[in-house]
A and B are shown apart, each in its own frame.
Chain A
Amino acid sequence: MDAVETMNKARSAPADTGKTPLIDIRNLRVTFPSGGAAPKTVLKGIDLAVKSGEIVGLVGESGAGKTTLARSILGVPPGPGRIAGGEVHFEGRQILSLSEAEFRRLRGRRLSVVVPNPRAELNPLLRTGDQIASMAKIHLGVNGKEARRLALQMLRDVQIPDPERRMDAYPHELSGGMAQRVVIAMALICNPAFVISDDATSGLDVTVQAQILALLTKLVAEQGSAMLFITRDVGITAHFCDRIAVLFSGEIVELAPREALFLEPAHPYTLMLLASFSHSPRLRDSWSVPDTSRRRELAAGCQYADRCPIAQPVCRERRPPFAENGPGHFARCHFPVRHG
Chain B
Amino acid sequence: MSTVLTIDNLYKHFPIAGSKQVVQAINGVSLTIEPGETLGLVGESGSGKTTVGRCIVGLIEPSAGTIHFRDADLALRQRHKRELAGKIQLVFQEPNESLDPRRKIGDTISEPLLPLRLDRETRRRRTADALRLVRLQPDLLDAYPSELSSGQQQRVGIARAMVTEPELVVLDEPTSALDPTARAEIIDLLRRIQSERHTAYLFISHDLSTVRFISHRVAVMYLGMIVEQGSAETVFNRPQHPYSSGLLSSVMLPHPHLKIESSVSLKGEIPSPINLPKGCFLASRCPFVIDRCRHEMPPAETVGERHTVHCFRHKDVAASVPASDTFNVFMKEAERILGRTVPSGVKPSLHQPTT
A178-B269 in contact given A265-B337, A276-B184 (Cβ < 8 Å): yes
Interface flag for A274 (CB, 8 Å): yes
Say yes or no: A339-B337 contact (C-beta < 8 A), given A61-B179, A284-B184, A290-B349. Answer: yes
**B249 near A2: Cβ-Cβ < 8 Å:** yes
Q: Are A277 and B206 in contact (CB under 8 A)?
A: no
Which residues of chain B (319-337) have a CB below 8 Å from chain A? 331, 334-335, 337
Q: Which residues of B contact A281 (CB under 8 A)?
A: 184, 188, 350-351
B78 interfacial contact with A, CB 8 Å: no
Whole-angstrom CA separation of A128 from B334 in the bound complex = 45
Instruction: Using A205-B45, A263-B337, A272-B181 as known contacts, say yes or no to A233 and B346 having CB atoms under 8 A apart.
Output: no
Q: Mark A199-222, 1 if CB is under 8 A from B, else 0.
A: 000000111111100000000000
Q: Chain A contacts of B259 at CB under 8 A? A: 4, 239
Q: Tell me how far the C-beta of A37 lies from the nearest C-beta in chain B, rounded to whole angstroms.
A: 20
- A1 contact set on B, CB distance < 8 A: 265
Interface residues of B in 15-52 (CB under 8 A from A): 44-45
Segment 197-215 of B: residues with Cβ below 8 Å from A: 206, 208-210, 213
- Write the nearest CB–CB distance from B245 to chain A, whole angstroms: 10
Q: Is A293 part of the contact surface with B, judged by Cβ < 8 Å?
A: yes
Instruction: Provide the B340-355 mask, 1 if CB < 8 A to any CB of A, else 0.
Output: 1111011011111111
Q: Which residue of A lies closest to B351 (CB)?
A: A281
Q: CA of A205 to CA of B252 in the docked complex: distance in angstroms?
A: 13
| B53 at interface by CB-CB < 8 Å | no
In the assembled complex, B304 has its CB within 8 A of some CB on chain A: no
Q: Are B350 and A234 in contact (CB under 8 A)?
A: no
Which residue of chain B has its CB nearest to the CB of A159? B267
Q: Which residues of A contact B340 (CB under 8 A)?
A: 339
Say whether, besides A4-B259, A265-B337, A206 and B354 are in contact (CB < 8 Å). no
In contact, B345 and A206 (Cβ under 8 angstroms): no
Chain A, residue nearest B43 (CB): A205
Q: Given A2-B249, A235-B252, A285-B352 in contact, is the A207-B334 Cβ separation under 8 Å?
A: no
Taking CB atoms, residues of chain A closer than 8 Å to B349 are 285, 290
Tell yes or no: A271 within 8 A of B by CB: yes
| Contacting residues of chain A (238-288) with chain B, CB-CB under 8 angstroms | 238-239, 258-259, 262-265, 271-288
Across-interface contacts of A292 in B (CB, < 8 A): 354-355
- The answer to the question of B115 belonging to the interface, with a C-beta cut-off of 8 Å to chain A, is no
* B251-275 contact mask (Cβ, 8 Å, vs A): 1 or 0: 1111110010010111111100000
Which A-chain residue is minimally distant from B337 (CB atoms)? A263
B256 near A262: Cβ-Cβ < 8 Å? yes
Interface presence of B250 (CB below 8 A): yes
The reply to whether the CB of B338 lies closer than 8 angstroms to some CB of chain A is yes
In the complex, what residue of chain B is closest to A294 when comparing beta carbons? B355
Cβ B206 vs Cβ A283 within 8 A: no
Which of chain A's residues has its CB closest to B261's CB? Answer: A2
Q: Is A232 an interface residue (CB 8 A)?
A: yes
> By the criterion CB–CB under 8 Å, are A259 and B180 in contact?
no
Bound: A339/B338 CA distance, A: 9
Residue from the list B256, B338, B351 in contact with A275, Cβ < 8 A: B338
Most buried by A among B179, B252, B349: B252
Question: Which B residues lie within 8 Å of A271 (CB)?
Answer: 338, 341
A176 contacts B45, C-beta separation under 8 Å: yes
Among candidates A175, A206, A208, residue contacting B251 with C-beta atoms closer than 8 Å: A206
CB of B183 within 8 Å of the partner chain: yes
Contact A61 B331 (CB under 8 A): no
CB of A211 within 8 A of CB of B334, answer no
Q: Which residues in A have their C-beta under 8 angstroms from that of B209? A: 235, 277, 279
With both chains docked as a complex, state the minimum distance between the C-beta of B339 and any C-beta of chain A, in angstroms. Answer: 6
B341 and A2 contact, CB distance less than 8 A: no
B289 within 8 A of A: no
Q: Closest residue to A264 on the B side, CB-wise?
A: B337
A271–B340 alpha-carbon span in the complex (Å): 12
Residues on A with beta carbons closer than 8 Å to the beta carbon of B342: 283, 286-287
Complex CA–CA separation, A161 to B209 (angstroms): 30
CA distance A152 to B26 in the complex (A): 37
Q: Is the CB of B246 closer than 8 A to any CB of chain A? A: yes
- Residue pair A288, B355 in contact (C-beta under 8 Å): no
> Contact: A274 with B334, CB < 8 Å?
yes
Q: Is B247 an interface residue (CB 8 A)?
A: yes
User: In the complex, what residue of chain A is closest to B260 when comparing beta carbons?
Assistant: A4
User: Chain B: residues with CB nearer than 8 A to chain A?
Assistant: 44-45, 179-181, 183-184, 187-188, 206, 208-210, 213, 246-247, 249-256, 259, 262, 264-270, 331, 334-335, 337-343, 345-346, 348-355
Q: Can you show 12 pairs from A to B with CB atoms below 8 A apart?
A: A3-B265, A62-B179, A207-B250, A232-B179, A233-B252, A237-B254, A265-B338, A281-B350, A287-B342, A290-B349, A293-B355, A309-B343
Taking A178-B269, A288-B181 as known contacts, 9 extra A-B pairs with beta carbons closer than 8 A to each other, sorted by chain A number, are A1-B265, A2-B265, A62-B179, A207-B266, A233-B252, A262-B255, A280-B331, A281-B188, A283-B342
Q: Give the 5 A-B CB pairs with smallest separation, nearest first.
A: A2-B265, A278-B334, A206-B250, A235-B252, A290-B352
